[in-house]
Amino acid sequence: MSDLLNPANLIVLTVIAVGMFFGLRRIAASTHGKSCCSDGASGKKAKKVVVADTDESHYPYREELLIGGMSCDGCARNVTNALNALDGVWATVTYADHTARVRSKRPVDRDTLETAVRGAGYYVMKM
């Protein structure tokens, strides 16, 4: 029994206990409508950007981006809002396939799109 309580084992057990505590907290938060990038009702999520013109025929230019760093649908909403904040852009982002489908009324430089994604806290992966 004394071998189990040596300092090295106590450190390992402490690290495991702390990891389990934070993991269970995150699981509990996600089941109550909270996510890694918003906490539900407190308003800490990214400002929602509504695109008024959703007629696809008005958006002749298209770009597809593979987004990294997303871990939930809230992350996808943050990226969507960041891209939709650009003038003349209508974007939809899907967490399931980590893809941003960007439509624009005029050509938009890919660097501009990548900068908007980085500004939201995510990154564009090379396809």
Give residue-wise pLDDT tens across range 39-85: 444 444 567 899 999 999 999 999 999 999 999 999 999 999 999 99
Q: What's the whole-model pTM score?
A: 0.68
Q: Mean pLDDT for the chain?
A: 84
Cα(44)–Cα(11) distance, integer angstroms: 36
Biggest CA pair distance of the chain: 75
